[in-house]
Amino acid sequence: MSSVFRTRFNYKLYFLLLLVLPFLLGLYAGISTLLDNIKSGNYFDDFGLTIVMPVLVISFICYTFYFYISKSPQIEIDGKGIRIGNESIDFAEIKKIRVRSKHTTYFLIMSYDYVEASSIVLKTGTEYTIFVEHYWNGSLIRTNLSNLSNFLKGQTSSFRVSTTTFTQEESLQFYLEDFQEYRQPPYKFANYYIFSPLVLLLIYVAIFLEAPFILRGIFLVLALAFYFILVRQSHYFLLGENHLIVKNYLFPWWRKPFLIKGINHVTTETQPKQETALKVITTDFRIHRFQSGLMNDSMFSSLISAIKAKRKAKLGVSTQV
C-alpha cells in the first residue's frame, strides 16, 4: 500500500488576529455606548463609534478567517497524483513544479508576497499556488514537490512519498567554537524607547485603574503583546566555523543553533511595518525568520556573505540566492 501525505493547517496563523487587539478597546467602547443609547432611547447617537467601529472590527476578523481558510485547501499526495481541495491532478498533467514560487496575492490592500509559496503548472496552463507556510507540515509539501519534480525531469527513477520530516541532530560541538557576534548596542534600537514605556504604562493602568475586569484585562493583554513585539525584534547572531547561533537580547537563555551545512537559503526580508529579518531556509525546507532591530544593513550583508562563504568552503556549493 503506497503512502499518502496529507497537509495539516497551521493554526498559529490565527495568532495574527492579535493585530486587532488595539481595536478591541474601540469595540468595547462602541458596544458599551450602544447599550447605553438603547436604554435611553437614543439609538443613533455616536453612530460612528457604536455601529461603524464594531462592524469594521468584526468584518476584519471574519475576512481574516476566510482568507486563511480559502488559501489553505487540504492537499494530498500519493504515488499517482496530487489532490488540492476538490481538484485531482495526475502526474502526467504536470508541466512544471516550482518549489519556490513568486506570487502576487494581496491581503486586503497589502501585498502578501513575503509568504513562501510553491506552485504547480499544468500542461493546460493552469497554475496552482500553494502557500506552504499555511500548513503545519509545509516543509513536507516542498520535500515531496522537490522529489516529484526530480522524478518528472528524469533525474530519479521513482517517486516516493515522504510523510515524516528528517530532523537534523543538534550538535553540541558549537560550545567548542569561537564565534563572531553580530549585534549593535541595544541603545541604538529606537523601539526600546517607544515600546518599553508603553508596556510599563499599560501594566500600571491594568493594575491600578478602577475599571471593569474585562477592560483591565485588555490593557494587560496589550502590554504583553507590545512586549512580545519587542522580543520578536531583539534577535542577534553568533557565527562560528560550523554553526550559526540565533539568540535574543530579551530572552538571554534562549538559543537556536543551525549547522552551516544544513542551511540551503539565507537572505534578509522586510515585512510591512516590521524590522528587517534574517530568513533561513534549511535543507529540509523549514523556514525561519528572525527579526532584529539590533542589526543594520551592513551587518546583515556581512553575516549573509560569511554564511555563504563557510557553506561553500564545506560543501563546495553556496547557499541559494
pLDDT value for 54: 73
pLDDT tens digits, one per residue of 243-284: 999 999 999 999 999 999 899 999 999 887 789 999 999 999
- pLDDT higher than 80, residue 21: no
| Higher per-residue confidence, 129 vs 65 | 129
Percent of the chain with pLDDT over 70: 83
Confidence class for position 98, pLDDT limits 50, 70, 90? very high
User: Which strands sit side by side in the sheet containing 75-77, from one edge to the other?
Assistant: 5-6, 75-77, 81-84, 87-90
Q: Which domains does the chain have, with CATH numbers?
A: 1-165 (no CATH), 172-189+233-315 (2.30.29.30)
Q: Are 292 and 273 in contact, with CB atoms under 8 Å apart?
A: no
pLDDT value for 321: 43
pLDDT value for 134: 93
- pLDDT higher than 60, residue 164: yes
pLDDT tens digits, one per residue of 259-268: 998 999 999 9
Confidence class for position 317, pLDDT limits 50, 70, 90? low
pLDDT value for 151: 94
pLDDT value for 25: 66
pLDDT tens digits, one per residue of 165-208: 765 555 556 666 788 999 999 999 999 999 899 999 989 888 88
pLDDT value for 59: 83
- The alpha carbon dihedral of 141, 61, 217, 193 has a sign of positive
Report the pLDDT averaged over residues 150-164: 91
Average pLDDT, the chain: 85
pLDDT value for 178: 84
| Residue 228 CB contacts under 8 Å (≥ 6 apart), including other chains | none
Report the pLDDT averaged over residues 288-292: 96
pLDDT value for 93: 96
pLDDT value for 6: 92
| Higher per-residue confidence, 172 vs 110 | 110
* Whole-angstrom distance, CA of residue 280 vs CA of residue 303: 12
Position of cell 522586510? 270
Q: Are 2 and 162 in contact, with CB atoms under 8 Å apart?
A: no
- On whether the pTM is more than 0.95, the answer is no
pLDDT tens digits, one per residue of 38-95: 666 665 556 555 566 677 777 887 888 889 889 999 999 998 999 999 999 999 999 9
Report the pLDDT averaged over residues 34-41: 69
- pLDDT higher than 70, residue 225: yes
DSSP state of 81: E
* Whole-angstrom distance, CA of residue 148 vs CA of residue 142: 10
* Whole-angstrom distance, CA of residue 314 vs CA of residue 40: 76
